[in-house]
């Protein structure tokens, strides 16, 4: 028996308009600048006392009290990672690395706030929903890339996609675990 029926494969032609390309780029710009700016501000609070922050000395004492000994090392490191990771995201520069920096820092913040739960019933207890949200936003940027309105766009070093996003998340998890191990042994 011979099959003489003609078979056609449905094809879908997708055209992306300039408006759609610009809209995606603007959306990623808004996300990067808003989110990265907030991360950088949190870092500036810890390091310099800007934006009603505690400043470096109080941050170091706070980290010492949370069991991150020496507090001088871990408090400074937390402020620097938030500031640098946030600024890199604002500018869309080395985006997978910037995202990894932020995700790793937020994993440690989640660890500190874990006992409070995701949404604590007691308003005086801080839960881990905010650092989780920040980690999700950073991980999303690791996969999508910074968009067309960024310093990475069109550069030879620009990286995005599943492999680079996965590598950024893996790097974040490894560095966060190393930090937590150091917290336990120092």
Rg of the chain over CA atoms, in angstroms?
21
Give residue 119's Cα distance to chain centre: 21
pLDDT higher than 60, residue 19: yes
Q: Angle at Cα 110 formed by Cα 52 and Cα 116, nearest 5°? A: 85
User: Confidence band (pLDDT; 50, 70, 90) for 156?
Assistant: confident
Contact by Cβ (8 Å): 148, 25: yes
> Domain ranges in the chain?
21-185
Nearest-10 crossing angle of helices 71-91, 162-185: 170
Nearest of 92, 79, 83 to residue 33 by alpha carbon: 92
Question: Predicted confidence band at 4 (pLDDT cuts at 50, 70, 90)?
Answer: low
Distances 100 to 5, 68, 96, 140 between C-alpha atoms, Å: 53, 21, 6, 11
Inter-residue contact 88 to 36 (CB < 8 Å):
yes
Structure confidence at residue 186 (pLDDT): 85
- Residue 134 · residue 42 · CB < 8 Å: no
Per-residue pLDDT tens for 66-110?
999 999 999 999 999 999 999 999 999 999 999 999 999 999 999
Model confidence, pTM: 0.87
Query: In whole angstroms, what is the distance from residue 166 CA to residue 169 CA?
Result: 5
Indicate the pLDDT class of residue 33, thresholds 50, 70 and 90. Answer: very high
pLDDT digit string, tens, across residues 162-171: 999 999 999 9
Rounded Cα distance, 81 and 99, in Å: 11
Assign 20 a pLDDT band (cuts: 50, 70, 90).
Answer: confident
3-state helix, strand, coil in the chain (%, to 5): 65, 0, 35
């Amino acid at each position: 028996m011979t099959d003489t029926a003609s078979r056609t494969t449905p094809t879908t032609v997708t055209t992306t308009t300039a408006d759609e390309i610009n809209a995606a780029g603007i959306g990623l710009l808004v996300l990067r600048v808003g989110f990265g700016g907030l991360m950088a501000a949190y870092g500036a609070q810890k390091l310099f006392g800007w934006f009603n922050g505690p400043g470096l000395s109080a941050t170091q004492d706070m980290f010492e009290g949370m069991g991150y000994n020496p507090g001088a090392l871990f408090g400074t490191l937390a402020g620097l990672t938030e500031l640098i990771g946030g600024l890199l995201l604002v500018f869309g520069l080395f985006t997978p690395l910037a995202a990894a920096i932020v995700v790793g820092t937020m994993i440690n913040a989640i660890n500190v706030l874990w006992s409070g739960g995701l949404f604590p019933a007691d308003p005086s207890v801080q839960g881990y929903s905010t650092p989780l949200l920040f980690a999700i936003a950073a991980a999303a940027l690791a996969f999508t890339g910074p968009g067309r309105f960024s310093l990475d766009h069109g550069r030879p070093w620009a990286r995005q996609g599943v492999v680079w996003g996965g590598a950024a998340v893996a790097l974040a998890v490894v560095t966060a675990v190393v930090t937590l191990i150091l917290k336990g042994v120092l």
